[in-house]
């Protein structure tokens, strides 16, 4: 039985790139896709507010030979607590707790460290591939598990869509939103997708092969990518809502070995470059994230990109942060 659930979980890591270098010709007409553009991290002119959220607790992706699940969790929790990151939200898949006492222990340690827990469905279902009713049943199955870990009911009623997929049909989209409205659920949107799952695969490969130089290069590239996505998203958000509309960005990470190693550097770079870390729930509850995207989704995309598409707006004020898949697939091989 454990093996069956491990296979299901392994599927989670094979996600569709959001900022992929494989961008459709239609999208290329709407954005600046410059593969020669080299983004460099530099301090933001005005402070950027950013909340941290982490998906797929208590264990994301394949287990690494060089670092146990427990070590991954301990390192992430230590980095967050050492840097006094406020009110981080972790989003849980209950399937990962099935017949696994260690991962239940990890979840308890996360909660006892003062961080919060939200619903990410039990099985990490892709709403594109299941019915609305199946999806809702999976949310409720996960809710029954979360009740053993959270302090309040409202805490667990912050929801993150797996794969950021909110519905490939209008009917599905509004079935789920109608359910959320009746049950007082709030959607945890994302404005900064780190795409760490793709970097994590390469990171594990580099570490397993003892490629020290390439491992360090990979981590630096990953951190630069996060800042590129943050910069792009901030400019896009203000392009849509105006330069005076203040909002906090929401960063999506996963509970994986890459972040266990890279998080201390990431948090230090945030401090040095005028990024202020804010409580996740405060950011999630901002009224800006209540706006809906009234169209079916082909794939999950961050919030501001949804809003750009809903308005049919081209955005050419800053180069798009595409993911260098060919480089990630070739490094440490």
Q: Per-residue pLDDT tens for 162-203? A: 999 999 999 999 999 999 999 999 999 999 999 999 999 999
**Per-residue confidence band for 98, with pLDDT thresholds at 50, 70 and 90:** confident
Look at residues 224, 251, 203 and name the one whose alpha carbon lies nearest to residue 323: 224
The number of residues making up the chain comes to 333
What the block records as the tokens of 35 is 């593969």
Is the predicted pLDDT of residue 26 greater than 50, yes or no? no
Instruction: Round to whole Å and give the CA distance between 187 and 167.
Output: 13
Is the predicted pLDDT of residue 1 greater than 50, yes or no? no
Percent of the chain exceeding pLDDT 70 equals 91
What the block records as the tokens of 93 is 């898949």
Look at residues 96, 148, 119, 20 and name the one whose alpha carbon lies nearest to residue 256: 96
DSSP summary character for residue 276: E
Distance of CA 235 to the CA centre of its chain: 19
Structure confidence at residue 17 (pLDDT): 46
Query: What are the b/e assignments for 241-254, b being 16+ CB within 10 Å?
Result: eeeeeebbbbbbbb
End-to-end CA distance of the chain: 33
Residue matched to tokens 């480089």: 327
Instruction: Round to whole Å and give the CA distance between 172 and 135.
Output: 10
Helices (H) and strands (E) in the chain, counts: 13, 10
- Residue 98 host element (H or E): none
**Per-residue confidence band for 25, with pLDDT thresholds at 50, 70 and 90:** very low
Instruction: Round to whole Å and give the CA distance between 254 and 217.
Output: 20
Flag the least confident range among 95-104, 105-114, 309-318. Answer: 95-104
Instruction: Round to whole Å and give the CA distance between 120 and 202.
Output: 25
Encode pLDDT of 35-70 as tens digits.
788 999 999 999 999 999 999 999 998 889 999 999
Inter-axis angle of helices 257-272 and 196-208, to 10 degrees?
120
70: three-class secondary structure by DSSP = helix
Instruction: Round to whole Å and give the CA distance between 198 and 323.
Output: 9
């Amino acid at each position: 039985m454990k093996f069956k659930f491990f296979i299901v979980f392994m599927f989670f890591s094979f996600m569709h790139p959001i900022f992929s270098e494989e961008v459709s010709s239609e999208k290329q007409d709407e954005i600046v896709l410059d593969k020669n553009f080299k983004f460099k991290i530099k301090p933001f002119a005005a402070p950027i507010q950013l909340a941290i959220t982490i998906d797929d607790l208590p264990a994301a992706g394949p287990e690494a030979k060089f670092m146990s699940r427990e070590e991954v969790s301990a390192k992430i929790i230590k980095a967050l607590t050492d840097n006094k990151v406020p009110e981080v939200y972790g989003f849980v898949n209950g399937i990962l707790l099935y017949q696994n006492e260690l991962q239940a222990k990890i979840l308890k340690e996360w909660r006892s460290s003062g961080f919060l827990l939200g619903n990410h469905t039990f099985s990490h279902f892709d709403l594109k591939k299941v019915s609305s009713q199946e999806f809702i049943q999976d949310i409720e199955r996960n809710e029954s598990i979360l009740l053993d870990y959270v302090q309040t009911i409202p805490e667990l009623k912050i929801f993150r869509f797996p794969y950021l997929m909110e519905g490939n049909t209008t009917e599905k989209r509004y079935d789920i939103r109608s359910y959320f409205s009746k049950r007082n659920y709030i959607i945890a949107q994302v404005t900064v997708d780190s795409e760490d799952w793709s970097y994590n695969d390469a990171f594990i490969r580099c570490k397993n092969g003892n490629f020290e130089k390439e491992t360090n290069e990979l981590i630096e590239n990953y951190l630069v990518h996060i800042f590129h996505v943050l910069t792009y998203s901030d400019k896009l958000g203000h392009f849509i809502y105006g330069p005076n509309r203040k909002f906090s960005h929401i960063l999506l990470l996963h509970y994986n070995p890459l972040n266990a190693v890279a998080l201390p550097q990431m948090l230090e770079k945030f401090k040095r470059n005028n990024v202020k870390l804010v409580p996740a729930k405060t950011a999630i509850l901002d009224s800006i994230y209540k706006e809906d995207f009234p169209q079916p989704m082909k794939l999950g995309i961050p919030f501001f990109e949804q809003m750009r598409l809903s308005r049919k707006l081209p955005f050419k004020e800053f180069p798009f942060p595409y993911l260098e898949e060919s480089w990630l697939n070739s490094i440490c091989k």
